[in-house]
Structure 1
Amino acid sequence: MDIGRILFHLLFTAFFVVANVVFVRAILYRLGLIFNGRPAFFNEDAKKNLNIGFRLKSFLINVILQKKNFREPVRGIMHAFVFYGFIVYTIHTTSQMIAGVFGYAMEDPYQFALPNFLFGETANHLYEQTVNYVSILVLTGLGFFAWRRWIQKAKGLDVHSPASAIVISMIATLMVTTLLGNGAKTVAATYYTHAGFIDGAIGSLWESIGVANSSADIVFQIMWWGHIITVFSFMLYVPTSKHAHLIFAPFNYFLATDTPKGQLSKLNLDDENAVWGSNRVEDFPWPNLLDGMSCIECGRCQVECPANRTGKVLNPKAIIVELKHQMLEKMPEVASARAGKTPEEAAEAVAALDTGVINSHEGLSEEALWGCTTCYACVEACPVGNNQVNAIIEMRRHLVLAESKMSPELQKAFTNMENNSNPWGVGAHTRADWADGLNVKVLSEAEDKNVDVLYWVGCAGAFDERNKKISRDFVKIMQKADVNFGILGTEEGCSGDSARRGGNEYLYQTLAQTNVDTINGYGIKKIVTACPHCYNTIKNEYPQFGGNFEVIHHSEYINQLSKDGKIDVKVADDAKTGKYTYHDSCYIGRYNNNYDNPRDVVKKVSGGKIEEAVDHHSKGLCCGAGGAQYWMEEHVDESNPESMRVNSKRTGQLLDTGATTIATACPFCITMITDGVKAAEKIDSVKVKDIAELVAENID
C-alpha cells in the first residue's frame, strides 16, 4: 500500500475524530444547559404542543425557505447566497469526508467525488460548475455583510466583532480554496479537462504564473487540505461563538409551539412550588434560554424597537445576548448543584447559588425591562425565531409578584383594576353610562337575553371621554345594520391586558376568570370589540381559562357589514381636498395579522386612497401605549438628541404623509396620536379619528 495514502488517511482521521467529538460535545453541553431551565410549553394542550406537522412547517418555511430573512429583501438575498451555498457545499464536503475516512483504500482519494460515484462524470461536471457559481455568490454575500458591518457601520451591528471577522474569513477561505483548487484541476493532467467558465478562467491564471501539470496537481492538493482544515476549524469554533445560531436556530423553529402570537404563558398560581416570574437563570423557561443560543446578534430587533429608536435604554438584542451569557456563566453551577441529588436536595443546593440576572448587566436593568411596549416588532423582525417579549414579561412578573417593584403610576393602575375593574379607577357602577339614550340592550337588565353578538366595550370605551364617542358611533353603525347585539354593562370587567403585560399575572387571572365565567353564563359565542388589547386577550388568552369565543375586531366587523350591504358608506366630503393615512395598532396588526380590514374601511371614506407612513403594516411603529406603558410615565433624556416620546416619533411619521386625517382602530392609539398632533401644534389642521367615527359620519 502506498505510504502516502496511509499518511493521508491517518492525518485526516485524526482531524475528523477531534473535530466531530468537540463539535458534538459542545452542542450537547449547551443543550444540557438550556434544558436545565424551567420546563415550558405555552399551551396546556400536550397534543397541540407536539404538533409535528406544525413544527415541520415552521422549520421548512423559516429555515429552509428563509422566510423571515426576506423581510429585508437585500439582506435576505445575500443571506440566501450564503445559506444555500452551505447546502450546495454539503455534497462537496461529504465527498471530502468519504475520501478522508476511506482514503487508504482509494487509488487517489483526491479524485473522489460523490456525484461521479453515484451518477457518472456528466453529473459530476454539472455539480462542479454549480459549486463554482455558488462560491461566487457566497463571496458576494460575505462581501455585502462585511461592508454593512465595517464600512457602513449599520445600526444594531457591533463593528468591533472579532467573531464575525473569524467566521467571514473561514467561509471565504472555504470558497476561495474550492475555486482555486477547481481551477488547478483544469490544468493538472490527472484530473478532468472539461473546464467551465469560472474554473477555466482560474486555470488560465494558474498557467499564466507558471503552474502546469504536476505542479497544478500539488496546488490542488494544497487547496484540498486548506479547505478541509478550514471545515474542521469551523466545526471547532462555531458552537462556542455567536454563530452557533447555525445549529440552534433550526432547533428554535422546530421546537416552536402551535399557539397564538398574542398568548403569554399561564402561571399555575395554585401550585405552592410554582415560580412566579423569572430572575434566577434556572427559573427561565428553556425556550428563553434557547433564544439566547440562537441569537446571531444581527440587531434587527434593536433597529425595530420603538423604545430603542427613541433613545431609551431598552435594547432587545442586549436582553437576549446577556441572558445567554448569564446562562453560560451560571447554569453550569446549577447543573453541578443538582447532580446526584433528590429534587428537594437539589432545590436547596441551587437556592444557595447567586444566579439572579436582573440588574446583572445594563442590558438587563429594571429600567430596560420597563421600557418595553410589547409591540412585538422585535419578535417579528428576528430572523432566528427569538421571542424577546416573553423573556421581558417573565422578568416583569418576578419584579411585580416576587419583589413588588413597579412604578407608582403602574401600582395605582393595578389598584384601580382590583377595586373598580378598570385602570382609571372610575366607579364600576358607571360602566354603562356612556350608552344612556342609545337604547342598547344590557343583558343583565333585559328580559330577552339572546343576542347574536356581544359588544365588548372595554375600559377605554366605557370610561375615557374621548373614547366614549367611539363607542356610541359604533353602536349607531350596528343599529343601522340592524345587528342584534347587547352589552354586559356593569358585569363587564377589565380584560386584564395591562395587568398581564405589566407583570401582575395574579391580578390578570382574577380578572380573566371572572369575565370568562360571566360570558359563559350567558352562553355567548361571538364577541366584537373596538379595543385591540381586549380583542387579543379575549381571543388568544381567555381560552386558557375556558373562554372559547369567536372574537372579532370592529375593523373586521364594520368591513364585513359594508361588504354584505348592511351599511352604505359614502365617500367623505373632504376626500378630494384632503388626504388620509392609517396608523397600525400592534395588537391587531403584528399580533393578529389584521392589516387589510381597517384600511378597507378607511378607503371607503377616503375614496380609495391611503397615504402610508414610512413604517406601516408589519413594520408599523408602535404608538407607545402597549405593555402597560399607557399607565406609566415615559422619561425623556433631554441630553440625548435621539430621546423623545414614542408617540411623538410615530405622529411625526404620520404627519410626514401630508395627511389631513389620521385614522386609528384602537382607543389607546387614538389618545397617543392625538397627544402627538397637539404637541406638533397641528390639531387645528389634522383630525385624528377612529374608523368607527369615520363610518358613522359617512353612512348614507
Structure 2
Amino acid sequence: MAISQIAFHVIFTALFIVANVVFVRAILYRLNLVFNARKAHGTENFLEHKNWEFRIKSFVLNVILQKKNFKEPLRGIMHAFVFYGFVTYLLHTTSQFISGVFGYALDDPYKFTLVGSVFGETANHYYEAALQVVSILVLVGLGFFAWRRWIQKAKGLDVHSPASAIVIGMISLLMLSTLLGEGARAVGAEYANPFHDAAPIAAGIGAVWEAIGIEYSSADLVFQIMWWTHILSVFAFMLYVPTSKHAHLIFAPFNYFLQSDTPKGALSKLNLEDETAVWGVTRTEDFPWPNLLDGLSCIECGRCQVQCPANRTGKVLNPKAIIVELKHALMDKMPEVVSIRETNPEGAADAVAALDTSVIGKYEGLSEEALWGCTTCYACVEACPVGNNQVNAIMEMRRHLVLVESSFPAELQGAFVNMENNSNPWGVAAHSRADWAEGLGVKTMAEDSNVDVLYWVGCAGAFDDRNKRIAQSFVKIMQKADVKFGILGTEEGCSGDSARRGGNEYLYQTLAQSNVDTMNGYNVKKVVTACPHCYNTIKNEYPQFGGNFEVVHHSEFINELAKDGKIEVGVAEDANAGKYTYHDSCYIGRYNDNYENPRDLVKKVSGGKLAEPVDHHSKGLCCGAGGAQMWMEEHGERVNFKRSNQLLDTGATTIATACPFCITMITDGVKQEGKIEEVKVKDIAELVAENLK
C-alpha cells in the first residue's frame, strides 16, 4: 500500500471513529439524564405485548410515515422531502464510510457500493440517478423552510436562529457536494455508457462543468474535492446535531416509540397514601422522564404556540417555551443530580435534595402566570409533530403549586371549597341537584336501578339555569326513543374534572372515588352524559379508581338513536333561511376523536348544510373554559370572544355546541358582539328535541 493510501486510510478512519464516538456518547449522555428522572405513569408494563404493538404502530405512523407532519400539508410535503432524502442517503453515505475505512475512496469511491454489491451495478446506477433527484427535492424543502423563517417570518419561528442556519447550511452542502461531484463524474467519457440517459441531472451539471473549462483530466480532482466536502460535512453534522435543537432527528423517534398507550384524556394518578410520593413537580429530577425527553425532541417549530388559545390572545403562556425550558433545566440541573447518584448512592437522596433544581419561576417560560393560563385544550399536543405533551408537564407543575405551595388564583379557591362542601363548583345546595327534573317523570337509581343506561347529568345540567334546559331536552329525546334510563339525583357528585385540571388532585380523588363507589353500588354498566368534561374523566380516568363503565357522550348516543330509527329528526323551519355552524368541544374532539357525531345531528336539523368556522375539527379553537378556567378570571383578550367571532364570521344564524361550558362561553361572546337576538346558541340536544317528528 502506498504511503498516501496509508495516510488516507488512517486519517479517514480516525475521523470516522471520533465522529461516531462523540455522536453516540452525546446521545447516551442525554438519555442517561432523562432516565434518571422519575418513572412515568403508563411505562411500568413496558415489555407487555400490547405496549410493544402500540409503540411500533406509533413509530411507523409518525416517524416512518410522517403522519403528524402532514397535518400541515405543505410543510408536511417539504419536511418529507428532507426526511426521506436522509433515508435515501443512508445507503449512499454508508457506502462512503466503508470505502473510506477500507481505503477504496482514494482510488475509486465507487469501487464498493451497498446497492451494487447486493443488487448489481445496473441497480446502483439507477439508485445514484434517483439520489440526484432526491438531492434536488431536499434543497427545495430546505429553501421552503428558510423562506418561512427568514422571509415570511412565520409566527412561532425564531428569525434569529443560528442553529437553523447552521443545519440548513450543512444539509445544503451535503446535497450540493453530491450533485456537483456526480456532475464531475459525468464530464467526458465517464458517463458515456447505457446509463447516461438515466442520470440527466448529473449530465446537465457535467455540461456546466465543461462549459466553465473543467475537462476530463481535471474532473477527477473536482470529484475528489466534492467527495471530501460531503464526507466532512457528514462528520460535522454528527458532531453538531446531538447538542443542538436539531437533535429531534434522534430523540423524536425515541419519543414516539416510548409513548404510553394510556388514553389521551387521562392524567396520571398520584398515590396520596405514599409518604414518599411526589405531589406535583417543581424539581427537575421529579418530572416524569417523558416530560424531559420532550425537551430533547422539540424542534422549536412553534406549531404548538400558533395553536395555543392563550398565546393567540396575548397571554404569557407559550407551550413551546414550556418544553424548551424543560430542556434547559435538564441540561442545567440533571448532570449534578446524576453525578451524585453515581458517586454516592447511599447518601444521594439528601445530597440531591440540597441542590436547587426547581424550575417554576426560575425559567422565564415557567412562570406561575404562564402555568395558570393553560385551558388544557390539547391543541398544542395535537399540533406537535414530534409527539410532545405540553399539557402533562403543565399539570405536573400545577399540582405542585396547589398541593405543596397552596399557590393558585384566588377565584379558584371558591370553586374548590364549593366542590368540597356541596360537590359542585357553583356552591348550590347539593340537595337540589335533581330539582331540574321535576315533573319530567325521571326516576333516580334509588327508585329503580334496573335500567339500561345511567344519565350522568353533571353539575352544569343540574345547577346552571341555561344548561338545565339542555338536560330537559335530552330527557325528552330519550323518552321519545323509549330508552330505559335513570339518574343518581342527589347521590351524583361533581365528576372532579375542574379539581384535577385545577391541580387539586386530593379533592379530585375524593370526588372520583365517591362517585365510583356509588355507581358500582348500583352495578352501572353504561353511562351517557352531555358534558364532555364529565365524559372524559368518567371514561378515561375513573378506571384508575375501579370505575370501568361504557361511557358515551350524548352526541354519539343521540346519533345512534337516529341511525337505529328510534327517533326521527326533521329539518328545522328556519333551515332554508338560516345558516348553521358547529363549535368543536376540545374534550370530545381532540381528547376523544368525536368530531362527526355532533355534525351529523346538526346536518339533520339544517337539511345537510353546515358552515365550518376557520378553525374546526382537530384545529378547533377552544372556548376558553377548560383547565378550570371556567372558575378563574381572564385578563386581556378573551378566548371565548375570539372564538365567538370566528363562529359569527361564518354568517350563521344558529351556533350549535355540545358542551355546557362551551354554550356558556359562546353565548357570552355572541352577547358581547350584540347579536344574541339574531344568532341562536343551542346545544345539539335542544336542536334535536325541537325537531323530533
1:158-177 superposed matches below 5 A: 158-177=158-177
Asked if the contact 1:34–1:290 (Cα under 8 Å) also holds between the matched residues in 2, the reply is yes
Relative to structure 1, the CA distance from residue 370 to residue 26 in structure 2 (aligned partners, 3 Å threshold; closer, same or farther) is same
User: Distance between the aligned counterparts of 1:606 and 1:150, measured in 2?
Assistant: 46
1:379 aligns with 2:372: no
Which runs of 5 or more structure 1 residues have no equivalent in the other structure? 637-643
Deviation at 1:4, TM superposition (A): 2.6
The residue aligned with 1:18 is: 18
User: Distance between the aligned counterparts of 1:121 and 1:43, measured in 2?
Assistant: 47
- The percent of aligned pairs where both chains have the same amino acid is 77
Other structure's SS at 2:551 match: strand
Deviation at 1:10, TM superposition (A): 1.0
Other structure's SS at 2:186 match: helix
Deviation at 1:347, TM superposition (A): 1.1
1:509 aligns with 2:509: yes
Amino acid at match of 2:431: H
Question: How far does the alpha carbon of each residue in 1:527-564 deviate from its partner, in whole angstroms, 9 at most, with x for none?
Answer: 00000000000000111111111000000000111111
Partner of residue 203 from structure 2, selected from 186, 200, 205: 200
1:331 aligns with 2:324: no
User: Distance between the aligned counterparts of 2:192 and 2:371, measured in 1?
Assistant: 62
User: Distance between the aligned counterparts of 2:98 and 2:537, measured in 1?
Assistant: 55
Amino acid at match of 2:247: A
The residue aligned with 2:481 is: 481
1:693 aligns with 2:692: no
State the aligned residue count: 690
Deviation at 1:42, TM superposition (A): 3.0
Deviation at 1:51, TM superposition (A): 1.3
Asked if the contact 2:104–2:112 (Cα under 8 Å) also holds between the matched residues in 1, the reply is no
Larger mean CA deviation between 29-38 and 2-11 belongs to: 2-11
1:38-117 superposed matches below 5 A: 38-42=38-42, 51-103=51-103, 108-117=108-117
Amino acid at match of 1:378: C
The residue aligned with 2:537 is: 537
Relative to structure 1, the CA distance from residue 436 to residue 122 in structure 2 (aligned partners, 3 Å threshold; closer, same or farther) is same
1:422 aligns with 2:438: no
Relative to structure 1, the CA distance from residue 62 to residue 153 in structure 2 (aligned partners, 3 Å threshold; closer, same or farther) is same
Deviation at 1:190, TM superposition (A): 6.0
User: Distance between the aligned counterparts of 2:483 and 2:473, measured in 1?
Assistant: 14
Relative to structure 1, the CA distance from residue 533 to residue 105 in structure 2 (aligned partners, 3 Å threshold; closer, same or farther) is closer
Deviation at 1:111, TM superposition (A): 3.8
The residue aligned with 1:639 is: none
Deviation at 1:11, TM superposition (A): 1.2
Deviation at 1:341, TM superposition (A): 2.8
The residue aligned with 2:321 is: 318
Deviation at 1:581, TM superposition (A): 0.3
Deviation at 1:191, TM superposition (A): 7.0
CA RMSD, aligned part only?
Answer: 1.3
Question: How far does the alpha carbon of each residue in 1:126-147 deviate from its partner, in whole angstroms, 9 at most, with x for none?
Answer: 0011000000000000000000
User: Distance between the aligned counterparts of 1:29 and 1:125, measured in 2?
Assistant: 40
The residue aligned with 1:181 is: 181
1:279-298 superposed matches below 5 A: 279-298=282-301
Asked if the contact 2:26–2:243 (Cα under 8 Å) also holds between the matched residues in 1, the reply is yes
Question: How far does the alpha carbon of each residue in 1:580-628 deviate from its partner, in whole angstroms, 9 at most, with x for none?
Answer: 0000000000000000000001111101100000000000000000000
Asked if the contact 2:46–2:52 (Cα under 8 Å) also holds between the matched residues in 1, the reply is no
The residue aligned with 1:366 is: 368
1:662 aligns with 2:651: no
1:467 aligns with 2:470: no
Deviation at 1:121, TM superposition (A): 1.7
Question: How far does the alpha carbon of each residue in 1:401-429 deviate from its partner, in whole angstroms, 9 at most, with x for none?
Answer: 01000111111101111111111111111
User: Distance between the aligned counterparts of 1:76 and 1:329, measured in 2?
Assistant: 33
Partner of residue 251 from structure 1, selected from 224, 249, 254: 254
User: Distance between the aligned counterparts of 1:594 and 1:427, measured in 2?
Assistant: 33
Asked if the contact 1:495–1:534 (Cα under 8 Å) also holds between the matched residues in 2, the reply is yes
The residue aligned with 1:346 is: 348
The residue aligned with 1:546 is: 546
The residue aligned with 1:640 is: none
1:437 aligns with 2:429: no
Deviation at 1:2, TM superposition (A): 2.5
Which runs of 5 or more structure 2 residues have no equivalent in the other structure? none
Question: How far does the alpha carbon of each residue in 1:622-678 deviate from its partner, in whole angstroms, 9 at most, with x for none?
Answer: 000000000000011xxxxxxx10000000000000000000000000000000000
User: Distance between the aligned counterparts of 1:249 and 1:203, measured in 2?
Assistant: 39
1:23-42 superposed matches below 5 A: 23-42=23-42
Question: How far does the alpha carbon of each residue in 1:160-196 deviate from its partner, in whole angstroms, 9 at most, with x for none?
Answer: 0000000000000000000000011112656775332
Relative to structure 1, the CA distance from residue 516 to residue 187 in structure 2 (aligned partners, 3 Å threshold; closer, same or farther) is same
Asked if the contact 1:110–1:221 (Cα under 8 Å) also holds between the matched residues in 2, the reply is no
User: Distance between the aligned counterparts of 1:439 and 1:117, measured in 2?
Assistant: 81
Asked if the contact 1:8–1:104 (Cα under 8 Å) also holds between the matched residues in 2, the reply is no
Amino acid at match of 2:640: N
Asked if the contact 1:302–1:315 (Cα under 8 Å) also holds between the matched residues in 2, the reply is yes
Asked if the contact 2:99–2:105 (Cα under 8 Å) also holds between the matched residues in 1, the reply is no
Asked if the contact 1:529–1:535 (Cα under 8 Å) also holds between the matched residues in 2, the reply is yes
